Amino acid sequence: MDIEKRIALIKEVGEEIITENELRELLERKKKITAYDGFEPSGKIHIAQGILRAININKMIKAGCEFIMFVADWHAWLNKKLGGKLENIRIAGEYMIETWKACGLKDVKYVWGSEIIKDEKYWEIVMKVAINSTLRRVVRCSQIMGRKESEIMSASQIIYPCMQAADIFYLNVDIAQLGMDQRKVNMLAREIAPKIGFDKPVAVHHHMLLGLTQVKSKAKGIERKIELKMSKSKPNSAIFMTDSKEEVEKKILAAYCPARQIAENPILEYAKYIIFESFKEMKIERKPKFGGDVVYKSYSELEKDFAKGELHPLDLKNATARYINKLLEPVRKHFERNTKAREILEQINKMQITR
């Protein structure tokens, strides 16, 4: 695949690329390119972390990247996830891996935080990041942990951004391919890289899928996107990868989806970023008196009809639930039929899920 096609694929993933010129130079200069994304194990994962990530990562792999999925168990511990119980966090990490494998995420390398913290070279990099950062700059990265700058943070949460920046350097990452909510720490890594002898990572920030429930927010820009995104701390705002067929239908039917409204419409986002990416078309099933069945070959066609009022929100919701359930069925079967996976899910279901 030539460079232009590779860049085009990566641009499909990145809502923001910092910078495209650096990405081009990287692809021209290096044969082996490593990209990564990192996740705190903190309970069940939703479809933005599962299906959407599989879609995006498979595009990065197709574009010639070797991809690392970083299971940030120590980071979750520092961030007090799952009650700060490391043993539960590790179970959640195993659950994440089982889920990713079941939803079609292949050819990735899994690396655990608890593996790399054993190397003193890692801690040397963490210290270098800390030495070259101010406390104010680190606190500004608090949103990567799902926190606000105004919150009182523990000392462990001050260490966290220094570790996340160090992860990039220790893992020899060329492309940090994370969500827009992780932007500030990627910028920190880019600022510090030349000071401590590393190349700047290219940052490819993917879109954050909207939550299903309406959220009133006065924030703007990235902060607004973060407030509106799908969140596992708000169960009704998210479809989880192991939700039942009935749970999916219930959540989607109750979702915010005003007629004719395109902006900040979560059901349209599901159609655009998940359904059309996975199936390349979307069939709306309707009774003849309501116009009969219609098949949309592109998202733009569907959006146009919805904006004109020719596609009713309920018909869109019913179709969305049907397609999402098709995508989740292999995951459900994996956790039903695989003994190890089933036991892990049973343990996850017993845990108290915190933010």
Q: What are phi and psi of 115, to 5 degrees?
A: -85, -50
pLDDT at residue 184 greater than cutoff 80: yes
Calculate mean pLDDT across residues 87-108: 92
pTM over 0.85: yes
pLDDT at residue 315 greater than cutoff 60: yes
pLDDT at residue 170 greater than cutoff 90: yes
pLDDT at residue 338 greater than cutoff 90: yes
Q: What is the tens place of the pLDDT at every residue in 142-160? A: 766 566 656 667 787 889 8
Question: What was the pLDDT predicted at 96?
Answer: 94
Question: Regarding predicted confidence, which is higher, 27 or 79?
Answer: 27
Question: What was the pLDDT predicted at 355?
Answer: 42
Question: What was the pLDDT predicted at 219?
Answer: 65
Confidence of residue 344 (pLDDT cuts 50, 70, 90): very high
Question: What was the pLDDT predicted at 336?
Answer: 95
Q: What is the tens place of the pLDDT at every residue in 222-231? A: 666 666 676 6
Task: Report how far apart, in Å, the C-alpha atoms of 277 and of each of 216, 293, 303 are.
Answer: 29, 21, 15
Q: Give CA 353 to chain center in angstroms.
A: 18
Question: What was the pLDDT predicted at 319?
Answer: 98
Task: Report how far apart, in Å, the C-alpha atoms of 56 and of each of 11, 145, 179, 297, 306 are.
Answer: 10, 22, 11, 21, 26
Task: Report how far apart, in Å, the C-alpha atoms of 17 and of each of 10, 14, 20, 187, 199 are.
Answer: 9, 6, 6, 12, 16
Residue ranges of domains in the chain, CATH in brackets: 3-206 (3.40.50.620), 221-350 (1.10.240.10)
Question: What was the pLDDT predicted at 157?
Answer: 80
Question: What was the pLDDT predicted at 354?
Answer: 42
pLDDT at residue 328 greater than cutoff 60: yes
Distance CA 145, CA 181 (A): 9
Question: What was the pLDDT predicted at 146?
Answer: 64
175-176 vs 202-206, strand pairing mode: parallel
Greatest mean pLDDT range, 204-208, 216-220, 301-305: 301-305
Instruction: Tell me what the pLDDT averaged over the chain comes to.
Output: 91
